[in-house]
C-alpha cells in the first residue's frame, strides 16, 4: 500500500472518529480546545477528534426516585416519606457547564427540600393535603434548578410510612369519630321522631276519631301475625262515652220521684218502715 492510500485511510479513520450521530431527543454540547463551541444536533455532527469533545444531553422527561427520608413533622411525629420528581433539560449548555452532574444534584436538592418542607407542616396536612405540599416542593426545586437549565414539572409524594403506635392511635381516633357521628345521627333521629309524635298527639287530641282509627288499624296489624295470645290495652277514650252514659243513668235513677214506682234501695225501705 502506497503513501497516498495510507493518507486516505488515515483521513477516513479520522473522519469516522470525528462523526457523531445524535438522536432526535439528544443534543450535544461541544467544546473545542476546552472552550464552548456550541450545541449540536440532532443528526450527524462533525466534531474534530482530538481537538474537540462532545457531551450528550437527553431532552426527555426523566423520573427521579427520591429515596425514603426520615422526617420529623411540626407536631413531633417521626415519619418516612419518599417521592418522585419529574424533570427535563431545557438548556443543554447550562446543564453541562453550570453544574457537574445535574441528575445527582437535582436528586440531592429534592431530598433536602422534602425534609425541610415536611418538617414545617403537621402530620394531618401531610396526609390530607398532599396537593398543596406537592406544589410547594415543585416550586422550590424548580426555582433552584432553573440556573442549571433544568425544569421540574412535578414533585409527587408517594408513600408516608407511619410508626405502628401512630397507626393504632389514628385507628382509635377514627373509631371514636365514627361512634360520635353515629350517636349524633341517632339523637337527631330521636329528636325528629319526638317532634312527629308530638304533632300526632296534638292532632289526635283535637280529633278523637283519629285515635280510634289508629287503634283499629293496630288491631288489624296484630291480627295478621301468628300470635297465640295478644294483650292489647284499650284506650280510655273508647270507654269514655259508655262511662258517661252510665253516670247519666245513675243520676237519673236517684232523681226519680216515689210515685213513679221505681224501686227504692234497701236502706231507704227500712227507714220508711220505721
- Whether 22 is covered by a domain: the verdict is yes
pLDDT for residue 27 is more than 60: yes
175-200 pLDDT, tens digit each: 787 888 888 888 888 888 888 777 77
The proportion of the chain whose per-residue pLDDT surpasses 70, expressed as a percent, equals: 77
Same domain, yes or no: 148 and 168: no
Same domain, yes or no: 81 and 121: yes
- Whether 213 is covered by a domain: the verdict is yes
Same domain, yes or no: 69 and 136: yes
pLDDT of residue 216: 67
Same domain, yes or no: 84 and 24: no
- Whether 194 is covered by a domain: the verdict is yes
- Whether 110 is covered by a domain: the verdict is yes
Smallest CA-to-CA distance from 77 within 122, 40, 131, 32 is with 122
- Whether 257 is covered by a domain: the verdict is no
- Which whole-number Å values give the CA distances from 1 to 7, 9, 10, 16, 249, in the listed order? 10, 10, 13, 21, 154
The proportion of the chain whose per-residue pLDDT surpasses 90, expressed as a percent, equals: 35
pLDDT for residue 219 is more than 70: no
pLDDT for residue 262 is more than 70: no
Same domain, yes or no: 92 and 172: no
- Whether 241 is covered by a domain: the verdict is no
pLDDT of residue 50: 87
Same domain, yes or no: 92 and 182: no
Residue 116, domain extent: 62-162
What's the pTM value of the predicted model, to 2 decimals? 0.61
Same domain, yes or no: 43 and 131: no
Same domain, yes or no: 106 and 30: no
pLDDT of residue 246: 75
- Whether 215 is covered by a domain: the verdict is yes
Comparing 225 with 158, the larger pLDDT belongs to 158
Least confident of 131-135, 138-142, 150-154, 267-271: 267-271
Same domain, yes or no: 37 and 9: yes
**Could you give phi then psi for residue 224, rounded to 5 degrees?**
-75, -20
101-133 pLDDT, tens digit each: 999 999 999 999 999 999 898 888 888 888 999
**Overall average pLDDT of the 245-254 stretch:** 73
Same domain, yes or no: 66 and 29: no
- Which whole-number Å values give the CA distances from 265 to 13, 209, 259, 269, 271, in the listed order? 151, 39, 15, 6, 10
Amino acid at each position: 500500500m502506497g503513501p497516498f492510500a495510507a493518507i486516505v485511510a488515515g483521513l477516513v479513520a479520522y473522519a469516522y472518529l470525528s462523526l457523531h450521530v445524535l438522536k432526535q431527543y439528544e443534543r450535544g454540547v461541544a467544546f473545542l480546545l476546552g472552550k464552548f463551541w456550541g450545541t449540536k444536533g440532532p443528526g450527524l455532527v462533525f466534531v474534530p477528534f482530538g481537538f474537540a469533545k462532545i457531551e450528550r444531553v437527553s431532552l426527555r422527561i426523566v423520573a427521579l426516585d427520591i429515596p425514603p427520608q426520615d422526617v420529623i413533622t411540626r407536631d413531633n411525629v417521626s415519619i418516612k416519606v419518599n417521592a418522585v420528581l419529574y424533570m427535563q433539560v431545557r438548556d443543554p449548555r447550562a446543564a453541562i457547564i453550570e453544574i457537574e452532574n445535574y441528575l445527582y444534584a437535582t436528586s440531592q436538592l429534592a431530598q433536602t427540600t422534602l425534609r425541610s418542607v415536611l418538617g414545617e407542616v403537621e402530620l394531618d396536612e401531610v396526609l390530607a393535603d398532599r396537593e398543596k405540599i406537592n406544589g410547594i416542593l415543585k416550586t422550590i426545586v424548580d426555582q433552584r434548578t432553573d440556573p442549571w437549565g433544568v425544569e421540574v414539572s412535578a414533585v409527587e409524594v408517594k408513600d408516608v410510612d407511619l410508626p405502628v403506635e401512630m397507626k393504632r392511635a389514628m385507628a382509635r381516633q377514627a373509631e371514636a369519630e365514627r361512634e360520635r357521628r353515629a350517636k349524633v345521627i341517632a339523637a337527631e333521629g330521636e329528636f325528629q321522631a319526638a317532634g312527629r309524635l308530638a304533632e300526632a298527639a296534638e292532632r289526635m287530641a283535637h280529633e278523637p276519631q283519629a285515635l280510634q282509627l289508629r287503634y283499629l288499624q293496630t288491631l288489624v296489624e296484630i291480627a295478621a301475625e301468628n300470635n297465640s295470645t295478644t294483650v292489647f290495652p284499650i284506650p280510655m277514650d273508647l270507654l269514655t262515652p259508655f262511662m258517661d252514659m252510665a253516670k247519666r243513668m245513675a243520676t237519673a235513677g236517684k232523681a226519680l220521684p216515689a210515685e213513679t214506682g221505681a224501686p227504692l234501695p234497701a236502706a231507704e225501705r227500712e227507714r220508711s218502715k220505721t
